């Protein structure tokens, strides 16, 4: 009898073979759910929340986040896979499938009496060899639009419809290249603003080389469209504020009270006057216009004064947009209007307001050197917009990873087939039972091309035999052509995966599978409620 049950009679225990069976069945169950999503020909899942909200997706990360997973082992695998997405932006479905397959292959040998510790040690050896093969397979790439388009397209086609994927690829690559501005360094993805507009169709999603803000001018007489604009970004209060300390004023006559009120108002008017003076000195007679974007408030009297001068003023802009505005238009975000000069201002070719139902959007476009851009996501309904948003995030990460690694891995299951063949050769150099674990690891890797074939409607065995034979005969990597079911060269078709994603998958899968194999007792012995 387990010692834990003496201490806690209510503890639920699963011993040795039973514990392993629990873990393996959980991994298999999760694998069966996710398997049909893999690759561009994968099917989509429809998630319905308790409130009846619908989410249609084939992005593994979204599925694992949204599904309610009760089983402890399955939720551990799901967490590991979502961590994969957090660090690299892709590869969640592959991680789940590979962990499931590693445990499935291990189960065959374990049922014949192989010790789990030997299995885990063999997995470690196989992992090191696979990473070595990965290093040999990586293709150094020049960072240019064509190469970035290929890797982004491969990633996006596994998330959304191919036609939409082609459009989003162009949008994502242009966004990154605009911000990179000729440097070959990874960019800060926070400088890409994702703005949603429930309007038209998904294929109307576009890149704005500037900024789109989700509010407009606050005065009916303000101009709706301005060209050749000076942009003043500020964090200065242009509204009457109460004193921060509790103070009282005493006055003897009504005139004194009027004087107090005038002095308070004058304090704000002086600030507005400085902006108006600057606008007059720079814009009058030059055909240029003036836009004020303020993070704090602007009261109706100040708005009135600015509107009379033809200045477009936006108040309560989001703080994150202040940094983006300075990068997109140039200029400096000011905290005071003392010593206002022309060099503090940014520039935009055109600023206009777009009204959609009750919502106003302000577009700041035609900036000289935009180091911050906006992707304007359009879609007829909420779940389409969310699906595009998730896909764009992954596409941007794929491009950034490529710039960071300066290398790619041929996709379409080509790397897994090459690793399988290399591991079979490597197996013969290992003495003892550990070689069985290397064999299991090699067989598990084939789950990726196998699943791609099944999801595209081809026979798994037939495809694998063709791919393995083709890979042995040629020095180039052979991947699976999903259109014909025949082997092809991924490089010719422009199908590439991120190096960092593959590396992360191999590392995390073998470690998690190894850990789950070494579990020989599962106890649910937490503190229960006192009622029972």
Residue indicated by tokens 């180039």: 476
Active-site pick, 390, 394, 405, 443 = 394
| Tokens matching residue 444 | 């598990």
**Among this protein's residues, is 497 annotated catalytic?**
no
**Among this protein's residues, is 266 annotated catalytic?**
no
Distance CA 39, CA 99 (A): 17
3-state secondary structure 502-524: HHHHHHHHHHHHHHHHCCCEEEE
**Among this protein's residues, is 520 annotated catalytic?**
no
Residue indicated by tokens 């409620």: 529
Tell me phi and psi for residue 126, to 5 degrees. -65, -35
Distance CA 436, CA 110 (A): 10
Q: Are 302 and 272 in contact (CB under 8 A)?
A: yes
| Tokens matching residue 287 | 């055909």
| Tokens matching residue 454 | 């099944």
Which residues, other chains included, contact 441 with Cβ-Cβ below 8 Å and sequence gap of 6+? Answer: 102, 105, 122, 123, 126, 127, 130, 423, 510
Active-site pick, 93, 94, 178, 374 = 93
Using DSSP bridges, classify how beta strands 373-379 and 192-198 pair: parallel, antiparallel or unpaired.
parallel
Cβ neighbours around 275 below 10 Å, total = 24
Residue indicated by tokens 């049922």: 111
Q: Are 173 and 373 in contact (CB under 8 A)?
A: no
**Among this protein's residues, is 304 annotated catalytic?**
no
Beta bridge partners of 521: 15
Active-site pick, 82, 92, 169, 233 = 92
Give the active site residues.
59, 92-93, 394
């Amino acid at each position: 009898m387990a010692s834990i049950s003496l201490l806690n009679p209510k503890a639920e225990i699963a011993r040795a073979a039973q514990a392993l069976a629990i873990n393996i069945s959980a991994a298999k169950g999760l694998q069966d759910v996710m398997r049909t999503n893999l690759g561009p020909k994968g099917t989509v899942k429809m998630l319905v929340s308790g409130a009846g909200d619908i989410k249609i997706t084939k992005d593994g990360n979204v599925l694992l986040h949204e599904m309610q997973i009760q089983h402890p082992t399955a939720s551990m695998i799901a967490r590991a896979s979502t961590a994969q997405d957090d660090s690299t932006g892709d590869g969640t479905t592959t991680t789940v499938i590979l962990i499931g397959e590693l445990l499935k292959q291990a189960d065959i040998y374990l049922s014949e009496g192989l010790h789990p510790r030997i299995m885990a040690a063999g997995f470690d050896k196989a992992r090191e060899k696979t990473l070595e093969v990965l290093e040999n397979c990586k293709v150094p790439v020049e960072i240019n639009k064509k190469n970035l388009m290929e890797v982004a397209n491969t990633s996006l086609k596994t998330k959304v419809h191919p036609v939409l994927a082609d459009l989003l690829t162009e949008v994502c690559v242009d966004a990154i290249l605009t911000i990179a501005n000729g440097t070959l360094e990874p960019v800060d993805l926070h400088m890409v603003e994702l703005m949603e507009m429930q309007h038209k169709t998904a294929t109307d999603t576009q890149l704005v080389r500037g900024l789109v803000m989700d509010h407009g001018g606050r005065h009916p007489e303000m101009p709706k469209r301005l060209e050749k604009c000076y942009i003043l970004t500020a964090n200065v209060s242009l509204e009457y504020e109460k004193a921060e300390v509790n103070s009282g004023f005493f006055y003897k006559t009504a005139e004194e009270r009027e004087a107090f009120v005038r002095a308070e108002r004058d304090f704000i008017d002086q600030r507005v006057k400085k902006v108006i003076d600057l606008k007059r000195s720079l814009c009058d007679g030059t055909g240029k216009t003036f836009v004020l974007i303020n993070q704090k408030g602007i009261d109706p009297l100040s708005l009135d004064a600015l509107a009379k001068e033809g200045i477009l003023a936006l108040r309560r802009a989001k703080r994150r947009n202040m940094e983006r505005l300075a990068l997109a238009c140039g200029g400096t975000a000011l905290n005071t209007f003392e010593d206002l000069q022309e060099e503090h201002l940014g520039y935009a070719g055109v600023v206009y307001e777009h009204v959609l139902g009750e919502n106003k959007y302000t577009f700041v476009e035609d900036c000289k050197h935009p180091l911050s851009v906006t992707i304007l996501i359009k879609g007829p309904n909420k779940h389409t917009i969310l699906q595009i948003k998730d896909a764009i995030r992954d596409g941007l990460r794929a491009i950034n990873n490529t710039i960071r690694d300066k290398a790619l891995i041929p996709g379409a299951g080509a790397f897994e087939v090459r690793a399988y063949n290399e591991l079979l050769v490597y197996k013969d150099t290992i003495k003892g039972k550990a070689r069985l674990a290397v064999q299991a690891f090699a067989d598990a890797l084939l789950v990726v091309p196998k699943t791609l074939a099944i999801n595209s409607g081809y026979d798994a065995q037939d495809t694998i035999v063709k791919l393995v034979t083709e890979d042995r005969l040629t020095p180039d990597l052979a991947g699976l052509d999903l259109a014909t079911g025949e082997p092809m060269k991924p490089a010719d078709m422009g199908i590439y995966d991120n190096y960092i994603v593959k590396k992360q998958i191999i590392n995390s899968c073998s470690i998690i599978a190894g850990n789950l194999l070494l579990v020989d007792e599962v106890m649910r012995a937490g503190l229960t409620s006192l009622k029972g």
